[in-house]
Structures are given as structure tokens and as C-alpha cells.
Amino acid sequence: MDEVLWKAITRCDPHYDGKFFYGVDTTGVFCRPSCKSRNPKRENVRIFLTINEAVSANFRPCKRCSPDHLRWPNEDLTHHVVELIESRYQESLTLPKLADMLHMSPYHLHRTFKRVTGQTPAQFLKNTRLKTAKHLLAETDKTISDVAVAAGFPNTAHFSTAFLKQYGLTPSAYRCQHTPNFTLGR
């Protein structure tokens, strides 16, 4: 076996995922190079260029690393989480709920999302809700309470506090500044 491939396996290098797979003769399982399972003995390892090659050689996919694409690479996972949050921000979305939707552990989801985006899923959710609220405040005549509900906040007080902290203005003050014909008595 090539030394580069062996190092990729022993270092669990994700850069080689999709370029090759390795099977372990003693277990009958094949993995991605980034799999965090225990390092096999080098003499028991077989290299495959495709999943079909591994399956044809009677190896089954590892349940940990899901080399048969049941688990997304980090960027795809993050993109999927962003789509979920942007389409369902009005719902009560918690980290465990998101993780359950994606069939993964909350810890892995949190760590991966933060590593790729620089923010936690909860921060992204809050920012999505606040952006929606800004738009609704400037473009509609909904009450502050209705804006809070439409943006997915559990209550008006929570919404007002988060909005003030993020933008330095209360929702009412923001609306006054961004809608020229708006009056507070409205």
C-alpha cells in the first residue's frame, strides 16, 4: 500500500474522503479515510477507489463514518442546516431538534457548524430571525408583537431585548428611522 494512503488512514485525513476508501479484511467493513475508528493493522487493509468496488468485494459500509454517503461532508451538512433554519426559523428549533432531523449527535452538529460558519446554529437562528424582523418592521405595518411572532421569537420581550442588543435600537425606534411616514401612534 502507498505510504501516502496509509498516512491518510492513520491520521484520519478528511482531505482524502471520496478519493479512496479502505476495507479491513478482519472486520469486513469499509471506511472513509477520515473515519475515527481504531487504526487497523496495515496488512489487513485493502484500498478501493469506489464504493462499488468495496461492496463487490463483500465489504459493508462502516456505521461510524457512513462511506455510502448517508452522512454529509462538513460544507454540505452546514448548507443543509442553513436551509433548514432559513425555511423553519418560525418554529421552536433547538440544537437537539436540528440534530434529530439530521440523524446525528447535537455535539457533532454544533462543532461542525461552528467550524464552518464561525457561529453556532443558535446564533445563526437568532440572526435569521432578527434579519426577518428588520425586514418586517421596515416593510409592513404589523404590530411589534406580530413581528416577533412572525420572526419566530417566543415572546415580545425576548424579541425586543435581542433586537436592542443586536442593533442598538428598540424595534419601534428602528421602525421610526426606516419608515418615513410611520408615527408611534399607529
Q: How confident is the model at residue 104 (pLDDT cuts 50, 70, 90)?
A: confident
Q: Which residues of 18-55 are buried (b: 16+ CB within 10 A; e: fewer)?
A: eebbbbbeeeebbbbbbbeeeebeeeebebbeebebbb
Q: How confident is the model at residue 66 (pLDDT cuts 50, 70, 90)?
A: confident
Between the CA atoms of 108, 109, 114 and 116, what dihedral angle is there, to the nearest 10 degrees? 100
In this structure, how many other beta carbons lie within 10 angstroms of the beta carbon of residue 145?
Answer: 14
- Is residue 65 annotated as part of the catalytic site, yes or no? no
- Write down the pLDDT at residue 183: 53
d(CA 136, CA 182): 13
- Write down the pLDDT at residue 182: 54
CA 134, 135, 137, 142 dihedral sign is negative
pTM exceeding the 0.75 threshold for the entire prediction:
no
Q: pLDDT tens across 19-28, in order?
A: 899 999 999 9
User: Would you list the domain boundaries of the chain?
Assistant: 3-61, 74-122, 124-178
Residues 173, 167 contacting (CB under 8 angstroms): no
**Residue 115 is placed in which grid cell?**
467550524
d(CA 110, CA 98): 10
Report the pLDDT averaged over residues 49-71: 82
HSE at residue 166, side-chain half, CA atoms within 13 A, is 18
- Asked if 74-122 and 124-178 have one fold, the answer is yes
Q: How confident is the model at residue 143 (pLDDT cuts 50, 70, 90)?
A: very high
Q: How confident is the model at residue 80 (pLDDT cuts 50, 70, 90)?
A: confident
Q: Which of 37-41, 102-106, 133-137, 180-184 has the highest mean pLDDT?
A: 133-137
- Please give the single-letter amino acid code of residue 186: R
Of the residues 12, 31, 35, 176, which is catalytic?
A: 31
Fold of 124-178: Arc Repressor Mutant, subunit A (1.10.10)
Report the pLDDT averaged over residues 92-108: 89
Share of the chain above pLDDT 70, in %: 94
Report the pLDDT averaged over residues 133-159: 94
- Write down the pLDDT at residue 174: 94
Q: What's the CATH architecture for 3-61?
A: 3-Layer(aba) Sandwich (3.40)
- Write down the pLDDT at residue 47: 95
CATH number of the domain at 74-122, out of 1.10.10, 2.40.128, 1.20.1250, 1.10.3470?
1.10.10
